[in-house]
Structure formats: C-alpha cells, structure tokens
Amino acid sequence: NQELIEIEPDKSPIGHFVNEDYGLFTNKTEKIIENDMIYLFSDGYSDQFGGHNQQERKNGGIKFKYKNFKNLLVECSSLDVSDQSKKLSKTLADWQGNLEQLDDICVIGVRI
C-alpha cells in the first residue's frame, strides 16, 4: 500500500532565537511499521526549474513543483534505498537539463 502521509511542518525557521517572533516547535507523532519510508527534505527539489524537454526549459523553465515531487516519492518508495537515490538524482538531472541549480537540494530517506 503506497500511501503518502504528510506531517505539517511548523512555520519556524531552523536556528531562530527564542526571543524572535516565531512560534515554538511542536512534537508530532505518527504510527510507523516495518518497511515504511520516512523522508525529510528541503524545498529545493520541488522548486528546481527545468522541464520535460528543451522547449519547456527555454526562457528559464518551469518549477518541478511539490505535487510532482510527492508523486515521485510514492513511485520510488518501494525501491531499494540506493535505487531510490539513483532515481531521484536521474529525474532531477533530466528535469534540470543545462539550467543552474538555484537552491540547496536535500532529500533524506530512511527505511524502517
């Protein structure tokens, strides 16, 4: 059963100071079972500009978008972790083409 369960993040930046006008981080729990995948990621992958082809990459391209990234995670979640890494890297490289990477891209996946 490939189901994506999202845990809403707090809207506080990492590394903020307590006296700044941000809320505190909240504890959140979710039931996990053997072979579940847990992903933590920055917004860099979904915000990367590119396209399915050279025409879409013209004039700076279009964003990969969060919906496509979530679908990609579900699609590759049943693969071995090393194969997931390869698929994520290849998909990003194919999307990005010769456009520059604009932001940090961090994706961490752990199989339980």
Tell me which amino acid residue 103 is.
D
pLDDT digits (tens, 9 = 90+) for 6-29: 998 877 766 666 666 666 778 899
Closest CA to 46 of 71, 83, 74, 16: 71
Measured from the Cβ of residue 45, the count of other Cβ atoms closer than 10 Å reads 23
> Whole-model pTM?
0.84
Cα separations in angstroms, 12 against 51, 65, 67, 104: 31, 22, 22, 18
- Residue 19 is predicted with a pLDDT of 61
Q: Residues 86, 17: contact at Cβ < 8 Å?
A: no
- Residue 20 is predicted with a pLDDT of 63
